Amino acid sequence: MNDVPAASDETTERDRAFRHLRRLRRHILVYAAVIGALLLIDLLTPGPLWFLWPMFGWGFALAAHWLYVKSINIDDDWAQRRTEDIRLQAHDLGHIEDIAKRYEQAEARRRSGAEPSDPSHFETVRESYERLASRNDEKDPGDGEDPGEDDAAPEADETSENRP
């Protein structure tokens, strides 16, 4: 494969982003100069303050320009890292640890020969823990694969419905 077009595409994208950033800076300078002049004219003339109307209207357009430039300058690697951070923070780790603790207690009771008080509850806890464990085993943040739909949102607490 030819890597030269990919590098030139990256350079073109970077140049385009810098051009937009320069235009935004110029827009901010022109805005400040014109609004400053309008303020000076408004203060030197009698009557109500009218410079606020162009300041707010143009300020809204300037804010939209800033948002546009900000959206162009997003680094794909940063976006991927940020998405992964948010996804990992979305899981309720306390809930997962609670399920793991209950599963270990149930396993200890099972190994010692004591029957759980509610067999359906034990199976629900076991299934929940195994599902979470398999989901964590499937995740490998270093491989760069896109996580599946199952990782997009944490599942509801199914064990609360079956508690004795």
Q: pLDDT in tens for each of the 164 residues of the chain? A: 444 455 566 678 778 888 998 999 999 999 999 999 999 999 999 989 999 999 999 999 999 999 998 888 777 777 778 777 776 776 666 666 677 788 788 888 878 776 555 556 666 767 777 777 777 666 555 554 555 444 445 555 554 455 44
Token pair 């209207």 is found at 57
Cα-Cα-Cα-Cα dihedral sign, residues 103, 107, 110, 114: negative
Q: How much is the pLDDT for 8?
A: 65
Q: How much is the pLDDT for 38?
A: 95
Predicted model pTM: 0.44
Q: Which residues contact 153 (CB under 8 A, 6 or more apart)?
A: 90
Q: Which residues contact 17 (CB under 8 A, 6 or more apart)?
A: 69, 72, 73
